Structure 1
Amino acid sequence: MAPNDSAETNGGTRGTAAGRRKAARYIVPVAVAGVAAATIGLVPALASSGDPDLPKIGAQELIEKIAASDTEQLSGTVKISTDLGIPSLGGLAESFAPGGAGGDGGKGGSSAHPQERMTELASGTHTLRIAADGPDKQRLSILDNASEYSLIHNGDQVWAYDSKSDQAYHATEKQAGKDAGRDAGKKSGHPVPEGVPTTPKALAEQVLKAAGPTTSVTVDGTAQVAGRDAYKLVVKPKQSGSTIGSVTVAVDAKSGVPLKFTLLPAAGGKAVVDAGFTEVDFAKPDASLFTFTPPKGTEVTEADDAKAQHKADKGLGDLIPGADAAQLGAGEPGAKNTKVIGEGWSAIAEITTPGATGLPSKASGDVPAEAQQFLDALGDKVTGKFGSGTVFKTRLVNALMTDDGKVYVGAVTKDALVKAANSAS
Structure 2
Amino acid sequence: MKKYKVGMVSLGCDKNRVDSELILGSINKFYEITNDPKEAEIIIVNTCGFIESAKQESIDTILEMAEYKNKYKCKMLIATGCLTQRYGEELLELMPEIDILMGVNDYMKIHKMILDFINGERKLFAANYSDENINEGIRLLTTDKHTAYVRIAEGCDNYCTYCIIPKIRGKFRSRSKEAILEEVNTLANNGVKEIILIAQDLTYYGMDIYNKKELHSLIKEISNIEKVEWIRLLYCYPEEITEELIEEIANNKKVVKYLDVPIQHISNNVLKKMARRTNKETITGMIKKLREKVPAITLRTSLIVGFPGETEEDFNELCEFLEEYKLDNVGVFKYSKEEGTPASTMENQIEEEVKEERQNKLMLIQKDVASNLNKLKMNKVYDTIIDRRRGKYFIGRSSEMAPEIDGTILIEYNDNINIGDIVKVKIKESLEYDLVGEVCDEFSK
Please classify the TM superposition score into its range, dividing by the shorter chain length.
under 0.3
TM-score normalised by L of structure 1: 0.25
Which structure shows the higher helix fraction? 2
TM-score normalised by L of structure 2: 0.25
RCO (CA 8 Å, sep 6+): is it higher in 1 or 2?
Answer: 1
Which structure shows the higher strand fraction? 1
Of structures 1 and 2, the larger Rg is shown by 2
